Structure 1
Amino acid sequence: MTKGKRLQILLLVVALTLFASSVTVSAEKIVLRVAHAWESTFVDVQKEFDKKFMEKYPHIEIRLENFAWENILEKLQTQAAAGTLPDVFYVHCSWAQQFIRQGMLMPLNSYIEATPDFNMDDMFPVGLTPYWSNGTIYALPYDAGPMALYYNKDMFDEAGLPYPTDDWVLDDLLDNAKKLTKDLNGDGRVDQWGISGTLTHETINAPVLAGFGAQLVNDDETECLVTTPEAIEAFKWWIALDTEHKVAPSPAQVTAIVEPFTFGRVGMTFGGSWMMERWLRFGTFDADVAHVPAGPAGRYTTVAGSGYGIAATTKNAEAAWLYLSEYLSEEGVKFMWGRTGRGSPSRLSAWPDFIKAWEGKNVRVFEEMLGYGLFQRPISPAAPQVSTIVNREIELMQLGRKSVEEGLQQIKQEVDAVLAEYNR
């Protein structure tokens, strides 16, 4: 009998035990601690799901633990060191490989194989990328968020410009950015720009580099590739938005304004699906989203996301998987993220409900972008250091203190050293 078959039988026994009429109400409950990082307005949705789960499985009690986003990583690492991790907990894509290396997450392959109704084919493959290691999957995504082109419809209307279309290329982006860049008060200084947010750690892989046929690092994450001719061409094009065309605010102006797009100072920006609430629902102007423009090598965007895993130290592995498999099932994702329009659902089947929740907005592009999205790299624990290096050198290039070639050579030298350290 295979391991997967044995586990399938074990899970069936657990389920039968939970539901059997011979089990009395006084039986001892299995208590599962589940940790989240929800904003306060979404906690009620979580409680509603947990209530339904406990009604279905009356011998499992869910104890919800919710932490602020800025605190949960430190909290989880402290709990891991103390051996007190929750049974099920939130895993941001950028933390996954670190958690795997630290032994915090339980492998899920055998549980997935033993649960035929848990339809992995319904999950976007790109959303699963950061949770794999050497053929083993350690967490599962609830969302997979692509970077899109957000635009200020009011600003386009005032300028008499048509909105971005699905077939935009980089020349269209530049042409419209020039037309939106203006000196509004006639003092000789630009105070409205066409675009911002083009060169960040979230956009470097795509559309910046991939659109020109280049990569930040190779697929094995052993070498930085920013000094290839394609990468140099890509950076020159994007840096020129600041240094030559002057259609984007300078780093100092971005710092002074804080969020140029949020405050209506730029017409377009790149942002992830997680920015929809702020910019599409609660913004002070009418905004929408479009596909990222295609570069010479094609149309690409970066995808990030979040998921959940089971603690390697849990004493209730079968019950924890029962919860996770219901939570991230087709119905679970529809309930939590499809109908509420929150995030960017990891399951294809949740998208009709999600699009309906955002009626009047062009959010279908997020689903379509998952078809050509690339996961943000590196996905290893080297990512924060790499981002720091890249962001520093980009600012120096934008300010004209370094040429593109000089900046990229410095990035390669430092990133290669960081990757070598993590691959020892």
Structure 2
Amino acid sequence: MTQGSGLSRRAALTLAATLALTAACGGSPGGGSGGGGKVTVWHGYTDKEGEALNKLAARWNSEHPDNQVEMVFNGGNDGVLQKTLAAFVAGNPPAVSYEFGSSLSGLAERPQTQDLTSTVRDDKDFKWDDLFAAGREAATVDGKVYGVPALVDNLSLVYNKKLFDEAGIAYPTETWTWEEFRSAAAKLTAGSDRFGWAYVNDGSEDTVWRYLALLWQAGGDLLSPDGKKAAFDSEAGKQAMQLLHDMAVEDKSVYLDTGDQQYVNLFNSGRVGMLWTGPWDLGGINEDVSYGVQFLPGKVTHATIAGPDTFVVFGDKGKADAWPFLKWLLSPEIHLEFAMETGHLPIRQSELSLPDYPKFEEKFPGNKVFVENLAKNVTKARPNISQYPKISQSLGTAVQSVLLGQAQPADALATARAEVDEILAGS
């Protein structure tokens, strides 16, 4: 998701691509503590998130005088991964850094990055299996754990109730189909003044991950089971791409966002009726806009996609010094406290059983469906492989061309399949 000022997955993938360029760079695998022996933890949080995290760190420090942590703002959008790689070269990486999930596959190849597999599984107090599956998968590369979930989110359908009422459309239900979704989007559309749905169409990961949800809903998959071939050029993949074509080109019911994130402003002004978005956008919806949140529409399933981020640990000393703090920070009670301050989703199933959890749903009612999604509809994950940024770029171009009416679904998928097969063959 986002950190504070809004970290984008487009930025994450751009940064992840730099891993290949710096793989040959040096840097010692040690390091991890800041000035005065404190454990250095990089983060990108600002505003309420930054305040909440710093408050928890101060509490930890007051209770653990022999294991102090120093929270360091790493600039958020301004090159998190690049700064991590630069720290490797300089030989002074932090003990812990908040990294995008898409960065982990490349970082796992670096000697500085610590294998936490035995740590998370042998520490019975941590309860690895209590974490939502999406978070566990995002932290795992080739069966080994290289991080712990820092944030778990997903996509749901957010809709403007007033526009639905005015159009005489029943509100979406958890069993809504693609056909009902397309019909509602068409009815909500009024020329170029109002669109039924918004889709980020800049060709970035923002473009791709919405398509992946459609692909999974139709029963398809991105890659073959062995990960050596593209699998999206299938009947399911064509059905998903055809839906995008029909809505954008035939119905003209889709506002194509260029990546400048104007879709929230248009939703606020009543010019967009539905979004596929995550909890990070709820805070940007005006208080006078009556909206609802529902599962994504479905075909075979109502699958959604999660975009977890991770805390990654660097250096042997970093692991030894940082693990007690991370285990405490991600414990059910402490993380729920953080969620209450920030609106972040729970990362653990046990958080939902805590006495204070109903207060979370009362404070952030829109998050209820996102939390339910984690247990019901987050069934697949993007592959945690180093080639993913290139795969995403190829598929993003294909989706973009279809939405713009520049290519037919079958042709776009065939082209992307050939490119992805070549990418995987060259690994």
TM-score (normalizing by structure 2): 0.82
Partner of 1:366: 370
What residue identity is the alignment partner of 2:165? D
Q: Residue 211 of structure 2 contacts residue 399 of structure 2 at CA under 8 Å; is this kept in 1?
A: no
Choose from 203, 212, 216 the match for 1:205.
Answer: 212
Q: Report 1:165-314 matches (<5 A).
A: 165-182=173-190, 189-197=191-199, 200-206=207-213, 208-249=214-255, 251=256, 254-255=257-258, 259-264=262-267, 265-279=271-285, 282=286, 285-295=289-299, 297-311=300-314, 313-314=315-316
How high is the sequence identity, in percent, across the aligned residues? Answer: 23
Q: Give the whole-Å Cα distance in 1 for the aligned partners of 2:261 and 2:133.
A: 35
SS in 2 for 1:91: strand
Q: Residue 121 of structure 2 contacts residue 127 of structure 2 at CA under 8 Å; is this kept in 1?
A: no
Q: Give the whole-Å Cα distance in 2 for the aligned partners of 1:246 and 1:42.
A: 38
Partner of 2:321: 319
SS in 2 for 1:60: coil
Q: Give the whole-Å Cα distance in 1 for the aligned partners of 2:288 and 2:316.
A: 46
Q: Give the whole-Å Cα distance in 1 for the aligned partners of 2:287 and 2:74.
A: 26
What residue identity is the alignment partner of 1:246? K
Q: Residue 233 of structure 2 contacts residue 413 of structure 2 at CA under 8 Å; is this kept in 1?
A: yes
Q: Residue 137 of structure 2 contacts residue 381 of structure 2 at CA under 8 Å; is this kept in 1?
A: no
SS in 2 for 1:69: coil
Partner of 1:31: 38
Q: Residue 177 of structure 1 contacts residue 194 of structure 1 at CA under 8 Å; is this kept in 2?
A: yes
CA 190–114 in structure 1, closer or farther in 2 if over 3 Å, else same: closer
Q: Give the whole-Å Cα distance in 2 for the aligned partners of 1:168 and 1:95.
A: 34
CA 225–135 in structure 1, closer or farther in 2 if over 3 Å, else same: closer
Q: Give the whole-Å Cα distance in 1 for the aligned partners of 2:342 and 2:360.
A: 5
Choose from 152, 156, 161 the match for 1:153.
Answer: 161
Partner of 1:406: 411
Say which is worse superposed, 212-221 or 411-420, in terms of deviation: 212-221
Note the alpha carbon deviations across 1:157-177, whole angstroms, 9 max, x for none.
Answer: 333433212221112211211
What residue identity is the alignment partner of 2:365? K
Partner of 1:343: 344
SS in 2 for 1:368: helix
SS in 2 for 1:309: strand
TM-superposed deviation, 1:139 = 0.5
Q: Residue 340 of structure 1 contacts residue 354 of structure 1 at CA under 8 Å; is this kept in 2?
A: no
Q: Residue 130 of structure 2 contacts residue 348 of structure 2 at CA under 8 Å; is this kept in 1?
A: yes
TM-superposed deviation, 1:30 = 4.3
What residue identity is the alignment partner of 1:388? Q
Q: Give the whole-Å Cα distance in 2 for the aligned partners of 1:146 and 1:363.
A: 10
Q: Give the whole-Å Cα distance in 2 for the aligned partners of 1:98 and 1:283.
A: 41
Q: Give the whole-Å Cα distance in 2 for the aligned partners of 1:74 and 1:257.
A: 23
CA 87–155 in structure 1, closer or farther in 2 if over 3 Å, else same: same
Partner of 2:7: none
Q: Give the whole-Å Cα distance in 2 for the aligned partners of 1:314 and 1:257.
A: 41
TM-superposed deviation, 1:284 = 6.1
Note the alpha carbon deviations across 1:124-170, whole angstroms, 9 max, x for none.
Answer: 11221122123321111032211111112232233343321222111
What residue identity is the alignment partner of 1:70? N
CA 354–221 in structure 1, closer or farther in 2 if over 3 Å, else same: farther
Q: Give the whole-Å Cα distance in 1 for the aligned partners of 2:260 and 2:52.
A: 34
Choose from 44, 49, 54 the match for 2:61.
Answer: 54
Partner of 2:402: 397
CA 121–223 in structure 1, closer or farther in 2 if over 3 Å, else same: same
What residue identity is the alignment partner of 1:301? T
Q: Residue 35 of structure 1 contacts residue 64 of structure 1 at CA under 8 Å; is this kept in 2?
A: yes
CA 114–236 in structure 1, closer or farther in 2 if over 3 Å, else same: closer
1:43 to 2:50 alignment: yes
Q: Give the whole-Å Cα distance in 1 for the aligned partners of 2:49 and 2:259.
A: 32
Partner of 1:4: none
TM-score (normalizing by structure 1): 0.83
SS in 1 for 2:99: strand
CA 40–98 in structure 1, closer or farther in 2 if over 3 Å, else same: same
Q: Give the whole-Å Cα distance in 2 for the aligned partners of 1:285 and 1:176.
A: 19
Structure possessing the higher radius of gyration over alpha carbons: 1
CA 41–98 in structure 1, closer or farther in 2 if over 3 Å, else same: same
What residue identity is the alignment partner of 1:415? V
User: Any gaps of 5 or more consecutive residues in structure 2?
Assistant: 1-34, 202-206
Q: Give the whole-Å Cα distance in 2 for the aligned partners of 1:349 and 1:242.
A: 41
User: Any gaps of 5 or more consecutive residues in structure 1?
Assistant: 1-27, 183-188
Partner of 1:356: 359
